[in-house]
Chains A and B, each alone.
Chain A
Amino acid sequence: MKKSDKTGLVFFPAFDWAISPTHPEREERLLYTRDQLFEEGIMDLPQICQYQPRMAELKDIARVHFCVPNIEAQATEAHRIAAGGALVLADALMAGEIKNGFALIRPPGHHAMRVAHGNRGFCNINNEPIMVEYLRQKYGIERIAIVDTDVHHGDGTQDIYWHDPDVLFISFHQDGRTLYPGSGFTDEIGGPLAQGMTLNVPLPPGTTDEGILYVLDHLVLPVLEEFQPELIINSAGQDNHYTDPLANMSFTARGYAKLNEKLAPDLAVLEGGYSIETALPYVNMGIIMAMAGLDYSNLYEPDYHEEFSQEDPLRLKRLEQIVSELSKVFARRKELVAAARKKLGPVYKRSRYIHYDTDGIQEQQQETLVLCSDCPGYLLIESEAMGQLHGYNKVYCISLPLKSCPRCQGQARDLYTKMRHSPYNEYHYLYLQDRPEDVYLQYDYITDKERII
């Protein structure tokens, strides 16, 4: 990579897109952020280089998601432009045009899982994994860390990388017992062969700058130092802010700036954050300033006081326990995986129930990881979903990781062909996500049509 001293910025506020007129994800969300960024004139500074987003290709989405009934149903133009905004910055980074980049885009994505039946937690498709898989496919990047700083557990991103030994996913968020989506506890540490590559820090409600920065200094940064990722991605939600209407945390704009300065992400992608007047204009400025190396000591919310940043000793104690527990998990990760390999048979199964709050869909999923001694194995997912407006769909999905071995590749492709030609079964759609060939197949049993993407 060539050296550049610029911070890339994609600002795509989607001023013509909303989930519904009064929904938190509405046209107005980044309006005041726009006003603040434009009035500051930060885009005129030589440190900042603004880019225009593009539409992500269908292939970019198929590389990550099994969209039901099809990609177009889950990814509208707005979604494709938001994801494409992240891809533009990925390209700029790899071309050496920028030293880091922030995709200030909406709609968000981190609750979207690998199988996408509808919108959950305001998300249909997941922008960070779309960017990560693009970077892997196009530029051969292997080891990536995603740090999810949104107040909600990044359960979609966690799902997509659950079995991936090369993607370190760290999420800190308000304790799932008190907030959507109700997951992200310390015992969720990744699939059997990727244990310790998922780390969840459930923060007690009310956690402040000091608390979050404690977790950063004592867990996140040491773990990153040990993992040595080629790229660090910040899944940058802004709803830990003390004014956010949907959560109960106490983070400030300057705290966000400090976090990004310390984390030094190569790429940051906006996620949630719904305090559109009192937080977003300041937090977004803070992230941009920190990434661009600009002094943020004059950045503050109108009602900010220094003591907002101090942490309660009891909460700090709780955080110390969590950090210590997770540090141990991470340190023992190789041991844990070796033990799992010994114990497991040829396959590993888990079944789950997934709720789509926005769209009112219930999904039942059975996931089978086919284990392999030479590669990460491949994944089979059987999923059926029912929603009042969406009807009933049952799908079968086969996912081949980029690094799968020739034997697994052969098996997965054979399975797809066999299932495609078996006339009697209960599925509506059959999918093959063939990442090694970068080809994505979807077969419709009812119309007998195959779509190749």
Chain B
Amino acid sequence: MLVGIDVGGTFTDGVLYHEGKIIKTAKYPTATEKLQDSILQVFDDLLAGVNEQEIERVVLSTTLVTNLLAAGKEEKVALVLIPGPGLNLRQLPLFPATYILKGAIDFRGRITEPLVHAEVEEVAAQIKAQGFKQAAVVGKFSSRNHEHEEQVAQILQTKIPHLQIVKGHEVSGQLNFLRRMVTAYYTAATKNQWAGFAQEIESAIKKRGIHCPLHILKADGGTMPLPVSLKFPCETVFSGPAASVMGAFALTGDNLTSVVVDIGGTTSDLALILAGEPLHASRGARINGRYSSVRAFAVRSLALGGDSAVRWTGKEITLGPDRLGPAACFGGTAATPTDAVNFLEGGKLGNLSQSRAALAKVAQEAKLTEEELAQTVMNIFLGRLEESIKEMFLAWEQEPAYRIWEIVNKKKVRAERVVGIGAAAKAFVPALAKRLDSQSFVHTYAPVANALGAAVARPTLSLLLHADTRRQVYDLNVEGITGAIDAKAQMEDVKALAVKYLQEIARQRGIGQYADRYEFFREEQFNMVRGWSTIGKLFDVGIQIAPGVINEFKGVLA
């Protein structure tokens, strides 16, 4: 049996899945101040009367890190940067306590300017005097050579023994100094609180006699074992939308191009599945408004939901951005888009006369009939979703490409299907699909698809291996692994090395059984020519266990 729990902003959902069936679902309001309570409430509800030994895996998707940052409850971090030549960081909006050091490494990983030890010691003294307990050390091109980061961290550690230090190359090996800086900073700022939370959940679950693997859902739609998450707390941001997308992925399970529409009470999230593969954001997740190196699905959020307030401003009808309690048809007081649907469909969703009464109030102000108002509301609601969906497809088509074949082979894509997720999906998605001239898909379990997505998502792992046969070195974008490579190495050798590391790291992280399901997502090689002869090769090989569902998932009977 598989357990999936998704902590949302308003509700925490859970499912218990076994052999093609959803055995049980649970839903409780989210206690924002103590997410543990909501999680365990849902957990206990799901497991009532179930034999603990039968639970094979538990996956959590949680907003803890997002909540910490939103509430400003993260720890203070001293940020130490080794930027070298380039952008003048002093002119960019950085973080409150930022220290900039001399020293530089270039794109080939060569040290072009040494560190100045006296300067590092001076910065260490300042950090000590300010009483920081957390620091992040980030160098430009540290993924190509992390010697400077290591040296600086070592000096800081010697001077301030209790200081906890996150090094840039450990959290991100992607080429992007600014995103690495943001990721390292927020990792340092949230890792202790995340660890406290994760361990509390782990021991609570163990106490209930459950000893199966406990995984955390990541923003890229994959899971990671809880111990791994202690090093990568930022990976958990945006796991909510990721759960919905994986839910849609699991419920459809084919190769169509779909737009996933998760309609909540206050907001709607949109995501794309292109020919059966969920689309990732090209720039990584934004944490507190800043781009990070956290890989996430490309999700667009609209302040528009089933419970958005319907108002007449004196000039026009507006929807949202706020929510005014539940829809009138479910006992609320104000008119909502849900009431508009309910009215137009003759009370299919809830109490028809309550919907009519709530709509009548606004209709009167706007000098419309209830029917005209309901139609207008639907038009605005669906129009905004449609517009955003078109923008998403367009943005995808306009993604930069760096090779001829990518541009020549770029195709125009359109949604073949609209997949509705969330409780309000069945009210809106059929009409939206009609407008987009595509199929509508709203599964019976659409309201808990997010929790199902968490329950059945498989672990993901993505590695980038960069090898320079001239310098005879290679580096890996995770855990700062580097090594020596033969001067005559060819693409097959580099790919074999990538496979070896993928399997090794997967094993270390406790997800070794998924390591044979890898795919290469990048295979680049460049001849280095100096003068008129080739003096070496540069390789970039990307290998991943892509997002998908675990073998135990056997579909869901409606």
Contacts and interface: CB of A to CB of B under 8 A. Distances in A.
B513 interface: no
Interface string B276-302: 000000010000000100000000000
A294 B404 CA distance: 31
A28 B91 contact: no
B398 interface: yes
A34 B107 CA distance: 9
Interface stretch (B81-89, B305-313, B360-368): B81-89
Interface in A69-92: 77-78, 81
Interface residues of B, number: 43
Contact of B176 (A41, A294, A297): A41
Interface in A9-59: 11-17, 21-22, 26-28, 31-32, 34-36, 38-42, 44-45, 50-55
Interface stretch (B257-265, B479-487, B530-538): B530-538
Most B Cβ at <10 Å: residue of A38, A39, A53: A39
A48 to B, nearest CB: 11
B106 A50 contact: no
B260 to A, nearest CB: 24
A304 to B, nearest CB: 8
A35 B106 CA distance: 9
23 contacts: A13-B402, A15-B402, A15-B524, A17-B404, A22-B529, A22-B534, A35-B141, A38-B176, A39-B141, A40-B177, A41-B178, A42-B87, A44-B179, A52-B397, A52-B400, A77-B404, A81-B407, A281-B107, A289-B87, A295-B88, A296-B88, A298-B88, A299-B86
Interface string A246-285: 0000000000000000000000000000000100011001
Interface in B209-231: none
Contacts of A281: 107
B401 A52 contact: yes
A36 B408 contact: no
A300 interface: yes
Given A16-B404, A297-B88, A28 B176 contact: no
Contact of A277 (B92, B108, B404): B108
Interface in B379-414: 397-405, 407-408
Given A34-B402, A298-B89, 15 more contacts: A15-B402, A26-B529, A28-B527, A32-B108, A36-B107, A38-B175, A39-B141, A41-B176, A52-B397, A52-B407, A53-B401, A77-B404, A294-B87, A297-B88, A299-B86
A22 B528 CA distance: 9
Contacts of B407: 52-55, 77, 81
B140 interface: yes
Interface in B537-552: 538
B291 A44 contact: yes
B378 interface: no
Contact of A52 (B86, B399, B533): B399
B112 A31 contact: no
A28 B524 contact: no
A296 B89 CA distance: 10
A140 interface: no
Nearest to A304: B85
Contacts of A45: 92
Most A Cβ at <10 Å: residue of B112, B175, B399: B175
Nearest to B89: A298
Given A31-B538, A38-B175, A52-B407, A22 B532 contact: yes
Contacts of A17: 404
Contacts of B87: 40, 42, 289, 294-295, 298
A39 B175 contact: yes
A35 B85 contact: no
B473 to A, nearest CB: 15
B149 to A, nearest CB: 14
A301 B407 CA distance: 33
Chain A interface size, under 10 / 10 to 19 / 20 to 34 / 35 or more: 35 or more
Nearest to B293: A41
Contacts of A26: 527, 529
A277 B526 CA distance: 13
Contacts of A55: 407-408
B113 interface: yes
B499 interface: no
B59 interface: no
A22 B524 contact: no
Nearest to B284: A44
Nearest to B107: A35
Interface string B117-161: 000000000000000000000001100000000000000000000
A91 B140 CA distance: 35
Contact of B177 (A16, A27, A28, A41): A41
Contacts of A13: 402
Contacts of B405: 16
Contact of B403 (A14, A289, A295, A298): A14
Contacts of B92: 45
A11 B85 CA distance: 21
B64 interface: no
B179 A78 contact: no
A26 B104 CA distance: 28
A81 B410 CA distance: 13
A281 B408 CA distance: 27
B526 A27 contact: yes
Contacts of A42: 87
Most A Cβ at <10 Å: residue of B89, B107, B178, B398: B107
Interface string B492-533: 000000000000000000000000000000001011110011
Interface in A281-337: 281-282, 285, 289, 294-302
A13 B176 CA distance: 18
Given A27-B527, A77-B408, A39 B399 contact: no
Contacts of A77: 404, 407-408
A75 to B, nearest CB: 12
A81 B403 CA distance: 10
Contacts of A296: 88
B176 A22 contact: no
Contacts of A11: 400, 402
A81 B407 CA distance: 8
Given A15-B524, A39-B107, A298-B88, A52 B112 contact: no
Contacts of B177: 39-41
Contacts of A44: 176, 178-179, 283, 291
Contacts of A15: 402-403, 524, 526
B402 A36 contact: no
Contacts of A300: 85
A36 B176 CA distance: 9
Most B Cβ at <10 Å: residue of A22, A41, A277, A301: A41
Contacts of B529: 21-22, 26, 28
A235 B397 CA distance: 28
